[in-house]
Structure 1
Amino acid sequence: MPNVQVELRVVTPLFMGGAEPHGNPAEVRALGVRGALRWWLRAALGGAGGAGADFSDTAALWQAEAAVFGGVDSAQSKASPVIVSVHTVQGTPQPLVKERPVRPGTPVNGRDYLLYGMHGNRNNPAEARQFYPPGTRFTLGLRSRLGADDAEAALERACAALWLLVMLGGLGARTRRGAGCLAVESVTGEWPPNVPPLPLVRDLPSPAALLHVLQRGLIQIRQLFAGGPL
């Protein structure tokens, strides 16, 4: 079955946990990645509403999302045609410690300001959130489930959601403040031809090059989702 393997490198602190409270210990989980991909899929589906596809109805949006990542409601359930996997995590989680104490009249460190609330406090440093530091690498896999309906089309949309996640967002907590950003080191497997290719970090020598890739890619993804439901 078609599959894609993407080696990713963490660029900014990645806060992602498992079932334990407070996100400790840190863990890159396939379930969490799937949730982030769902969010970007919904964003893409909503953005396609003015391009020939109508996802203004929440039921239609749910059906389009379930066609890619599965779903359960009171009336029906559907297994995901796309299997998400995470493996070969190369990095050691560490607690977030303030780089310097905050004193009146002292400038606040930029990282401490953006990640406020993720640190431990003086009385209980164990509450500090663990994170994967920049330079951590892991491999994300997407593959079609054997025998699933419209498996290749679902994988295509899952890859489009991954493109959006990498190019415009990130993984884990505090992504709106710049945490969890990722860079692409390698892509292997059968990347769908209708989805803009994930650019390798070495192929983006300047902000202008990144802007060019973003502009072309967003146009291509909008065209991909304009066709409506699977």
Structure 2
Amino acid sequence: MNLVIEITTPIFLGGSDARQLATLVRIPSIRGQVRYWLRAVLGRRVGNDVAALKTAENNLMGHTGASSLVRFQVQEGKQLLETADRYMLPHRQSGNKIMSETFAEKQRFLLSITPRPGLKTIPDEILAALLLWLNLGGLGKRARRGYGSLRCVRATAATDDVSPDKLALFTVKSEETLSDYLSRVLGWVQAAMPAQPLAEWPEYPILLPEYTAVLVSQRTYPSQQEQGTPVYEKAMVPFWHEFLRAHPYLDDSAYGYADRNGRRASPFHWHIGQTKMGYQWVFTTFWSQSVRQYDSRRNWQKVNDLLTAIADEAEGKWVWQHVAEVYDGR
């Protein structure tokens, strides 16, 4: 299977030397993202059995004693991807805006995924993880805050690798809205990966409607390049000003923390999607037990409040709406 991937927002992605940008999009970085979303998919089947999760993941993606069922390969065009300096915090109007080298937006590369010799098809679990990564996630630093967003603009495959109906899931149809497209993708994942009911809250991010929210802002931002400010910033900066950097949401531990009491990655994934209508915000949030017990209710309520504000003030449309009660640590 060959996927032509377009960079929607800049990728902050280092090489083996973290001080320098890689000369191409690195396979280990892609595999890491696919593994993250694969765990969210496999959790539908194994629930909170972390040992079973590890076994299922290793059987698909490989481990020390066995190779992966699929091979990933990246091919740029005739030249290596161009780099450009971009601000990591573009909402700042003055002072230290923290500029860093990136793979610049609007470029494309080819991602090839092939079954291991002896296998004819790519497993549905890996197809599901790829779809979720490309449409809800990102690549590189700040990927949960809108950077490194990607989209598939063309998908081809030998019939034996991926069936035509599954291949069609990787691209938006000309008449589709972004929310309709995501509904189609998530609907297929649900049908292809039947879920077991959970008796308690997930211990890690699991793609279940009861514990996952997917919200698409119906606002659109122009995606045509103009002179001056990078075009993606027109879609990115308003969210920082109106929500993440605005009272009462400013610098809240609900969005992740690292301190002497431990650390937790943000449960919140902000992806910038693109269709012929322009850029749109896509927000995915996973509810789980991976939060400090003593303030879990406040944390999850803060996340609820933020999503509600986005839905109300930014014309948000729920593709999936989290329905479980706020976790109280009991």
Scaled by the length of structure 1, the TM-score of the pair is: 0.71
1:66 aligns with 2:58: yes
User: Shift of residue 64 of structure 1?
Assistant: 1.1
Aligned to 2:39: 42
Cα 1:131–1:26, aligned 2, differ >3 Å: closer, same or farther?
farther
Using the alignment, how far apart are the partners of 1:94 and 1:141 within structure 2? 25
Contact residue 44 and residue 222 of structure 1 kept, 8 A = no
Shift, 1:147, TM fit: 2.6
Runs of 4+ in 1 over 6 A off after TM superposition: none
Instruction: Report the CA distance between 1:205 and its aligned residue.
Output: 5.7
Shift, 1:92, TM fit: 0.6
Q: Which runs of 5+ in 2 are unaligned?
A: 197-330
CA-CA distance at 1:195 after TM superposition? 4.0
Q: Quick one: which amino acid aligns to residue 137 of structure 1?
A: R
Which residue identity does 1:60 align to in structure 2?
A: A
Work out whether residues 16 and 27 of structure 1, in 8 Å CA contact, stay in contact via their aligned partners in 2.
no
1:186-230 CA-partner distances (Å, limit 9, x unpaired): 1111434674733435x3566xx11112112212112222279xx
Q: Which runs of 5+ in 1 are unaligned?
A: 99-109, 121-128
**Number of aligned pairs?**
189
Aligned to 1:7: 4
1:107-139, Cα deviation, whole Å (9 max, x unpaired): xxx7254xx98825xxxxxxxx32111111100
- Structure 1 residues 37, 55: closer, same or farther in 2, change over 3 A? same
Of Structure 1 and Structure 2, the greater helix share is in: 1
**Deviation of residue 59 (structure 1)?**
1.2
One-letter code of the match for 2:112? G
AA partner of residue 16 (structure 2) = A
Does the Cα contact within 8 Å between 1:26 and 1:132 map onto a contact in 2? no
In percent, how many aligned pairs have the same letter? 29
Distance of 1:132 and 1:20 partners within structure 2: 16
Distance 1:34 1:69 in 2: 8
Distance 2:135 2:60 in 1: 20
Residues 52-72 of structure 1: per-residue CA shift (max 9 Å, x gap):
x22321111011111221123
Please tell me the root mean square deviation across aligned C-alpha atoms, in Å.
2.8
> 1:52-201 maps to which residues of 2 (within 5 A)?
53-72=45-64, 77-89=65-77, 91-96=81-86, 111-113=90-92, 119-120=98-99, 129-147=100-118, 152=121, 154=123, 156-190=124-158, 191-192=162-163, 195=166, 197-200=168-171
Structure having greater relative contact order (Cα 8 Å, sep ≥ 6): 1
Q: Which moved more, 1:80-89 or 1:186-195?
A: 186-195
Q: Tell me, what secondary structure is at the counterpart of 2:76?
A: strand
Counterpart CA distance in 1 for 2:97 and 2:63 is 32
